[in-house]
Amino acid sequence: MQLSSSPNGLLTNHMKSIALKTVVALLFALTLASSAKADHIIGSDMTYQCADTPGIYKIIFNFYRDCNGCFVLGQSPKCGTSENCSSSSSAPTSLSLRCTTSGKVKNLSSVSMTRTGIVDITTTCNSAKSRCEQPCNGTFPHGIEKHTFEGTIDVRSDINAGCCDFEISVRLAVRNVGITTGQSQQWFYTSCEINACAAPCNSSPNLSNDPVAILCCDQPFTFNNGAVDTSDRDSISYSFGKAFQNRGTECNYASPRTYLDPITPYYPPGTSYPTAIPSANPPIGTYLDPSSGDLIFTPTNCSEIAVVVIQMIEWRKDSLGVYKQIGVTRRDMQVIVMSCPSNNPPEVEGPYSYSVCEGNQLCFNVTTDDPAYIPPPPTPTPPPDTVKIS
What size, in residues, is the chain? 390
State residue 6's pLDDT score. 39
The pLDDT profile of the chain, 390 residues, written as one tens digit per residue, is: 333 333 344 334 444 344 434 333 433 333 434 444 446 789 999 999 998 899 999 999 999 988 877 777 776 666 666 667 766 677 888 999 999 999 999 999 999 999 999 998 888 777 777 877 777 767 787 888 899 999 999 999 999 999 999 999 999 988 988 999 999 999 999 999 999 999 999 999 999 999 878 899 999 999 999 999 988 889 999 999 999 999 999 999 999 999 999 999 999 999 999 999 999 989 999 999 999 999 999 999 999 999 999 999 999 999 899 999 999 999 999 999 998 877 666 777 777 777 888 788 888 888 877 776 666 666 677 777 777 776
Residue 213 pLDDT? 82
Task: Report pLDDT for 16.
Answer: 39
* Helix or strand holding residue 170 (H, E): strand 165-172
The pLDDT of residue 82: 64
Phi, psi dihedral angles at 310 (to 5 degrees)? -115, 125
**pLDDT value, residue 355:** 82
C-alpha span between 156 and 147 (Å, rounded):
29
Would you state the pLDDT for residue 33? 41
pLDDT at 256: 96
Domain boundary assignment for the chain = 41-363
Question: For residue 141, what pLDDT is reported?
Answer: 79
pLDDT value, residue 173: 86
CB 73 within 8 Å of CB 86: yes
Apex CA 316: angle with CA 313 and CA 321, to 5°? 135
Q: ∠ at Cα 164 (237, 293), nearest 5°? A: 10
Closest CA to 140 of 306, 340, 332, 307: 340
CA 211 to chain centre: 7
